[in-house]
Amino acid sequence: MSSIEKEILFWFENNERDLPWRKTTPWGVMVSEFMLQQTPVSRVLPKWNEWMERWPTPADLAAASTADVITAWGRLGYPRRCLRLHESSKVIAADFNNEVPKDENVLRTLPGVGEYTAAAIAAFAYQEPSLVLDVNIRRVFGRVFDGVQYPIGTPTNAERAHRRELIPTEDAHVWAAATMELGALVCTSRSPLCHECPVMNFCKWRAKGFPESVQIRKTQTWHGTDRQCRGTILQALRESPSLSELSLKQIWHDDSQVERALNGLLKDGLIWINAETHYALPAM
């Protein structure tokens, strides 16, 4: 065991958060991975608990209506995620005997499951030695081993190859969780707590004097955007059986944004037009 691995695992043993998806079923892990995409833990926790109580297996979610799924997703954001999770639950229930697949390649055939999500499910649900590279882990490794503030773009083959060499032969899933936790709590994006880092003496970024990345990091905006307009419309339709376009335009300041949002939501399958030409959540 390397000194870096030893220090990070020791830190994790004493600082691990008590998150419910770390002691759940493979399905619970899968639900958490869908919810945690671009969404902080604090917002996911109550929603994950609600979903697991309501739909504890893939078959339970598969039997739910699309409208119920969208409504239950609430304001987690990026609602296409819940549609893909709903679609995946139907495949798992029908084709995999209601059991989340273990193999990464099989997992990646499921709707909404890409490289990272497949690796995370394999690691955290089945303790497989998969290469888990979320934004937190990539940031930790980039700073410690490469001496850069932020990783650039998507993982390269060279980055994957080096990070794969770091995976321990035993308890690889713990290593993945530990490095992810370190990035989430200490080696954070904007205000890293370097004085609390268990591997600060090994960190190349610190040794170089914390050089800033050439990459320009853009902060995502929300207020007044098309995304906020979409979210406002969806919330209105969660609260009302159906609404006309005129009614929806009364709850948003820009008619053209409402029109774009409605077209996009229709295309994504998040809403539909009923017989009265009113907009509503999908009936099925």
pLDDT tens track, the chain, 284 positions: 799 999 999 999 999 999 999 999 999 999 999 999 989 999 999 999 999 999 999 999 999 999 999 999 988 888 899 999 999 999 999 999 999 999 999 999 999 999 999 999 999 999 999 999 999 999 999 999 999 999 988 899 999 999 999 999 999 999 999 999 999 999 999 999 999 999 999 999 999 999 998 654 555 566 778 888 888 888 888 888 888 888 888 888 888 888 898 899 888 888 888 877 788 888 76
SS3 283: coil
148 and 259 part of one domain:
no
Going from the C-alpha of 259 to that of each of 60, 185, 229, 252, 254, the distances in angstroms are 35, 41, 10, 11, 9
d(CA 271, CA 232): 13
Identify the domain containing residue 275 by its residue range: 226-280
Q: Which residues form the catalytic set?
A: 33
In three-state secondary structure terms, 280 is: strand
Three-class DSSP category at 275:
coil
- What is the separation of C-alpha 1 from the centre of its chain, rounded to a whole number of angstroms? 30
| Shared domain check, 159 and 94 | yes
Report which residue type is found at 229: C
* 3-state SS assignment for residue 102: coil
Task: Give the per-residue pLDDT at 221.
Answer: 66
- Are 167 and 235 in the same domain? no
Counting the structural domains of the chain, the total is: 2
Classify 268 as helix, strand or coil: helix
174 and 206 belong to one structural domain: yes
Note whether 246 and 213 are same-domain residues: no
Give me the pLDDT at residue 122, please: 97
pTM: 0.83
CATH number for position 45: 1.10.340.30
Does one domain contain both 140 and 267? no
Q: Is there a single domain that holds both residue 230 and residue 97?
A: no
Q: Report the distance separating Cα 237 and Cα 170, nearest Å.
A: 49
**Residue 215 has what pLDDT?**
54
Task: Indicate if 157 and 235 belong to the same structural domain.
Answer: no
Residue that is written with structure tokens 């996911």 in the block: 44
Could you say which of 189, 219, 249 is where a domain stops? 219
Q: Are residues 164 and 267 in the same domain?
A: no
DSSP symbols for 108-122: TTSTT--HHHHHHHH
Q: How far apart are CA 214 and CA 208, in angstroms?
A: 15
Distances from the Cα of 37 to the Cα of 21, 41, 68, 114, angstroms: 14, 10, 21, 11
* 267 shares a domain with 172: no
Q: How many CA atoms lie within 13 A of 106 on its CB side?
A: 11
| pLDDT value of position 216 | 46
**d(C-alpha 212, C-alpha 142), whole Å:** 12
